[in-house]
Structure 1
Amino acid sequence: MKRNFNLIFFLKKRNDTQIDGLSIYLRITVSKKRAETATGKKCLENEWGNGQLKGNSLKSKTLNAYLKQLELRVHDAHRILLTLGIEVTADSLMNEYLGKTEKRRTLKEVFEDHNHEMAVLVGKDFSKMTLLRYQTALRHIEQFMREKYNIPDIDIKKIDHKFLTDYDFFLRSVRKCSNNSAVKYIKNLKKIIKICIANGWIIKDPFANFKATVKEIDRVCLTDLEVTRLEQTDFSNERLQRVKDIFLFSCYTGLAYVDIYQLKISEVIIGRDHDRWIISNRQKTGTPTRIPLLPKAVILLEKYKNHSLISNSEKLFPVSSNQKMNAYLKEIADICSIKTILTFHLARHTFATTITLMNDVPIETVSKMLGHKNIKTTQHYAKIMDKKVDEDMAKLTIKLRESKIKQEADTKIYNYTLTK
């Protein structure tokens, strides 16, 4: 992209005699192409030299100061074009200087407006985690534009397929994002582009030929033996015992970290079956969640209802930060000889698979309890283990064997009847 330009002031001569002087013009040259405009000032030809009015008179100083201001305005226009990633030509620079360009919208401007509106709606239409992801996405884009193009912002009309592929590469290489994380940040940007298209700010969709696909990953979960090992291990360290209990509560309910952190006394009710239920909305999606509590979950609720760390609040559990919880879970895994890397979100996978699906709870019911908007999401969480496949096939084998025995018995009875 051409970045440099030349600027001069000159007197424009005309065929007719100009008694009051010649017009002073401003000329911009980029790559040997010119653009000119009148400054609105005049002077006599013998008063002019080296692109300015000669002498030190008040008239000369005043006019030269005016021309200097025009020159600074051209430099400002040049800086704007560079900032927005717009190609610098004689015409584009002149139009920017003269203010003949339509109102431009920049990527950062639209992204910031979007995030501001989302922040207002946190807790209503959006979760705090969703807002944080969009804020992080904006920071990544700002860093990308600085490092790749040496610009702080870009005109949305300049975003093209190359911009997207460069950004995707930046996320994977510089930011070290996994495929799925990179795809999520790309989708954040795609939403901003859709806003621009919907408002008519851009016509051509830069995402038209761009593909970003989430790769399905195997969800890790604890086996029933590992869950039992956790249940049967008592820690003398109160901190580890508390973290273990809260982790197990997540295994029994499928609640994510943030949902347990915010869980209130008022969200536990007595249902029609006279058992306790959790009635709340998922923080991540706002989806209603209704979970009947297993007896083991109720025991943990009772254990912590008067805990000193939450005695003056509506909270049900004394939950530390997610970072600390995950650090403590690593200690717990070592003590319990669990080779699986324990993270708090692993409990949600364990609920979906080991606690529910492995015990013949229908996937539709599991999806409802997890607060998923569609069953496809549940299928990603719910990894059906080989053990479950073996059990199901064993049941089928028995069923087929019994069916064969019954069929043979019916055949014998039928043949016996015929012989009589």
Structure 2
Amino acid sequence: MAMQRNYFTVLFFLKKSKLLKNGEAPICMRITINGKRAEVQIKRSIDVTKWNTQKECAIGREKKYQEINHYLDTIRTKILQIHRELEQDGKPITADIIKNIYYGEHSTPKMLLEVFQEHNSEYRELMNKEYAEGTVLRYERTARYLKEFISEQYKLADIPLKSINYEFITKFEHFIKIQKTVRKMQQ
């Protein structure tokens, strides 16, 4: 599962099929990543005749339309920023994840290595009190193997806990066996 370049677009359009009581059409945003879409109502509406479909913006010099266009620019910038941050952190990127972060519904998903680091820090604090040094070192070695494995196998810095499945576990087990063999041969 090599990390491909995400095909990513943000589009604003009118929902002409759902006109509001005042006769205006709600403005919606569509986030598309690799063909998968998420639509967002942005809580603004406009007279259908005052919308430029090609340029995805309001037409008109009136303050109302200038404000709508400014608002659309702000949203677009925020979405691009969320996408860039996910990319920089090597986190998974889907239209739904971006939509959820935009709405602040949940920050990014719980990540495997992150959780493992927290676990290992707690164990290290209790080393030689509740846990033997060997146990702590084995956990830390496993975390290093996981990091290498995720980087090699998925070209990511970390993966969401919820994407761990049977296939991931069996591939990781195989990876560890190979690592141990390599280390034995180096000794």
Asked if TM exceeds 0.5, the reply is: yes
Q: Which amino acid aligns with 2:26?
A: S
Query: Alignment partner for residue 24 of structure 1, among 13, 22, 27?
Result: 27
Cα RMSD of the aligned pairs, angstroms, is 3.8
**Structure 1 residues 171 and 100: alpha-carbon distance in aligned structure 2, compared to 1, 3 A threshold:** same
Q: 2:138 matched to 1:133?
A: yes
Quick one: which amino acid aligns to residue 45 of structure 1?
V
Structure 1 residues 66 and 162: alpha-carbon distance in aligned structure 2, compared to 1, 3 A threshold = same
Contact 1:10–1:25 (CA under 8 A) maintained in structure 2: yes
Number of residues paired by the alignment? Answer: 176
Counterpart secondary structure, 1:154: coil
Q: Distance in 1 between matches of 2:75 and 2:48?
A: 21
Q: Which has the higher contact order (CA 8 A, sep 6+)?
A: 2
Shift of 1:46: 3.9
* Distance in structure 2 (CA, Å) of the matches to 1:15 and 1:57: 22
Corresponding residue to 1:6 among 5, 9, 14: 9
Residue in 2 aligned with 1:151? 156
* C-alpha spacing 1:51/1:4, structure 2 compared with 1 (3 Å): same
**TM-score, L = length of structure 1:** 0.35
Q: Which residue of 2 aligns with 1:311?
A: none
**Per residue, is there more strand in 1 or in 2?**
2
What residue number does 1:48 align with?
51
1:28–1:34 contact (8 Å) kept in structure 2: yes
Which structure has the larger Rg over C-alpha atoms?
A: 1
* 8 A Cα contact 2:101 2:108, kept in partner: no
Of all paired residues, the percent bearing the same amino acid is: 29
- What is the 5 A alignment of 1:104-183? 104-173=109-178, 176-178=179-181
**5+ unaligned residues in a row in structure 2: which ranges?**
none
Q: Alpha carbons of 1:132 and 1:54: their partners in 2 closer, same or farther (altered >3 Å)? A: farther
Structure 1's unaligned 5+ residue stretches are 182-420
CA shift in 2, pair 1:46/1:74, >3 Å: same
Instruction: Map Cα deviations across residues 183-226 of structure 1 (whole Å, 9 max, x no partner).
Output: xxxxxxxxxxxxxxxxxxxxxxxxxxxxxxxxxxxxxxxxxxxx
Deviation at 1:128, TM superposition (A): 3.5
Match for residue 69 of structure 1? 74
Shift of 1:56: 7.3
Contact kept? 2:101, 2:107, Cα under 8 Å: no
